[in-house]
């Protein structure tokens, strides 16, 4: 595409390109955005710090892979998305600037014993190495294997586990409170 001799004041394509580069926050929740759209956005919106992709039903694990290359992302909200698995949280390991992550785990692994979808320790392993992660919110059921990993996440200032009451033991929750005394934990 050739854009020579175009005025950024009159050409909407140029304005869109410039706006994307300057974009810091974007709420796409409930939109029809696709994996390709998120990939293009991440490539152009290099200063994007906050992204809400909640309730974007067309997104798949390909979105997680493209988000992994975004060095400045600080806040990410993903819930009611489909076709993603617990193991694909590995893509988040590269998001070293990430400060806040909200996940709804309806798309996570199916727990074999109870046939419920639940967050397991394997996926969380990838999050514990994020040095700036201060806020973690799960709309999820947790397996027992998730708690030892959560207890290692000393960097957290806030941990919210919604749905925990349906799955797990009070002993796990108590041990989590003991291991993270400086973390505000809501369940």
Whether the per-residue pLDDT at 166 is higher than 80: the answer is no
- Its pTM stands at 0.81
Which pLDDT does position 75 carry in this prediction? Answer: 97
First to last CA, the chain: 52
pLDDT above 70: residue 26: yes
**For residue 58, what pLDDT is reported?**
80
User: 187: Cβ–Cβ under 8 A, 6 or more apart, which residues?
Assistant: 160, 161, 162, 164, 165, 173
Q: What is the C-alpha to C-alpha distance for residues 128 and 149, in angstroms, rounded to an integer?
A: 7
Q: What does the pLDDT look like over 64-117, one tens digit per residue?
A: 888 888 889 999 998 766 656 667 788 888 999 999 999 875 545 444 444 445
CATH of domain 1-84: 3.80.10.10
**E strands, the chain, where?**
25-27, 50-52, 75-78, 100-104, 110-111, 116-117, 135-139, 158-162, 184-186
Pair 111, 87: CB distance under 8 Å: no
Position 53 scores a pLDDT of 87
Q: What integer pLDDT is reported at residue 131 of this predicted model?
A: 95
The reported pLDDT for the residue numbered 98 is 96
- For tokens 């990410």, name the residue: 76
- Give me the residue spans of the domains in the chain: 1-84, 94-187
Dist CA 49 CA 136 (whole Å) = 16
- The pLDDT, as a whole number, for residue 50 is 93
Sequential DSSP letters for 103-124 = EEGGGSPEETTTTEE-B-HHHH
Across residues 120-143, what is the average pLDDT? Answer: 82
Phi first, then psi: give them for residue 6, nearest 5 degrees.
-100, 140
Query: What average pLDDT does this structure show over 174-181?
Result: 89
Which of the four pLDDT bands, split at 50, 70 and 90, describes residue 168?
A: low
Cα distances from 84 to residues 112, 148, 159, 171, in angstroms, run 17, 23, 22, 30
- Give the C-alpha separation, 98 to 72, whole Å: 8
Ramachandran region, residue 60 (left: φ > 0; alpha: ψ -120 to 50; beta: rest): beta
């Amino acid at each position: 595409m050739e854009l020579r001799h175009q005025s950024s004041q009159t050409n909407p394509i140029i304005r869109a390109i410039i706006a994307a580069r300057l974009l810091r926050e974007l709420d796409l929740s409930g939109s029809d955005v696709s994996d390709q759209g998120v990939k293009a956005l991440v490539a152009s919106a290099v200063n994007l710090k906050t992204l809400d992709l909640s309730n974007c039903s067309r997104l798949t694990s390909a979105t997680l892979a493209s988000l992994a290359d975004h060095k400045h992302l600080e806040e990410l909200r993903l819930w009611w998305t489909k076709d993603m698995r617990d193991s694909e949280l590995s893509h988040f390991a590269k998001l070293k600037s990430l400060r806040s992550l909200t996940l709804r785990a309806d798309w996570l692994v199916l727990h074999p014993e109870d046939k419920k979808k639940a967050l397991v320790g394997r996926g969380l392993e990838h999050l514990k190495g994020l040095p700036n992660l201060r806020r973690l919110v799960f709309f999820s059921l947790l397996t027992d294997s998730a708690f030892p990993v959560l207890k290692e996440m000393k960097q957290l200032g806030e941990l919210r586990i919604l749905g925990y009451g349906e799955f797990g033991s009070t002993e796990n929750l108590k041990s989590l409170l003991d291991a993270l005394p400086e973390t505000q934990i809501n369940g």
